[in-house]
């Protein structure tokens, strides 16, 4: 059997790998069962980012409470998404922003780890394909997104 010797370069490379931070998780599940997921994707041809918080319903049962925000990358501010889901995996998200009311709706279904479906304009005249895939997010990024979600929903829903 051949014995390998450690060269200084190999030793440095291994040390760097061991010292490197762990790769960012795609989704994080907290102790209470809440799942936090950052998604990237497209609505039609536009790039979008969405943050979704999926938590056990406060009254128990099998349904879950979903809160979300998203934005058109480089184009819009964060939009609030009012969510509703069912036991079959359908997810309805109605987008709105402060002062402008409803600006569209997303009708989604799970597709592997991602989500796919349609975006529908408020008048129902425009329908665009939608695709979201989970994106890696560090603990720091998830914290930032949770704060963004809370801020956007507070600005849109609270007095």
Question: Does residue 91 lie within any of the structural domains?
Answer: yes
Contact 78, 146 (CB under 8 A): no
Residues 78, 76: Cα–Cα separation, whole Å: 6
Per-residue confidence band for 32, with pLDDT thresholds at 50, 70 and 90:
low
Per-residue confidence band for 27, with pLDDT thresholds at 50, 70 and 90:
low
Smallest CA-to-CA distance from 116 within 129, 103, 127 is with 129
Smallest CA-to-CA distance from 114 within 142, 86, 135 is with 135
Q: What CATH number does residue 121 fall under?
A: 2.40.128.120
pLDDT at residue 93 greater than cutoff 80: yes
Instruction: List Cα–Cα distances, 105 to 53, 90, 113, 145, in angstroms.
Output: 18, 13, 21, 21
Question: Does residue 7 lie within any of the structural domains?
Answer: no
Question: Does residue 9 lie within any of the structural domains?
Answer: no
- Strand, coil or helix: what is 25? strand
Residue by residue, DSSP assigns 40-106 as: EEEETTEEEEEEEEEEE-TT-SS-EEEEEEEEETTT---EEEEEEE-TTSEEEEEEEETTTEEEEEE
Question: Does residue 8 lie within any of the structural domains?
Answer: no
Average pLDDT, the chain: 78
pLDDT at residue 103 greater than cutoff 70: yes
Range of the domain at 78: 21-157
Question: Does residue 121 lie within any of the structural domains?
Answer: yes
The model's pTM is: 0.74
Contact 114, 96 (CB under 8 A): no
φ, ψ (nearest 5 deg) of residue 45:
-100, -5
Number of domains in the chain: 1
Question: Does residue 28 lie within any of the structural domains?
Answer: yes
């Amino acid at each position: 059997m051949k014995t390998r010797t450690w060269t200084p370069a190999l030793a440095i490379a291994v040390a760097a790998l061991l010292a490197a931070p762990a790769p960012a998780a795609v989704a994080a599940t907290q102790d209470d069962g809440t799942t936090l997921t950052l998604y990237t994707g497209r609505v039609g041809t536009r790039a979008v980012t969405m943050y979704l918080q999926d938590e056990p319903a406060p009254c128990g049962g099998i349904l879950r409470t979903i809160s979300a925000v998203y934005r058109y990358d480089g184009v819009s501010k964060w939009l609030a998404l009012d969510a509703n889901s069912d036991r079959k995996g359908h997810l309805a998200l109605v987008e709105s922003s402060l002062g402008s009311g409803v600006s569209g709706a997303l009708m989604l279904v799970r597709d592997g780890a991602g989500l796919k479906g349609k975006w529908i304009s408020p008048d129902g005249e425009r329908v665009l394909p939608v695709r979201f895939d989970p994106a890696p997010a560090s603990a720091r990024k998830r914290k930032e997104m949770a704060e963004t979600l809370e801020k956007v929903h507070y600005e849109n829903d609270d007095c």
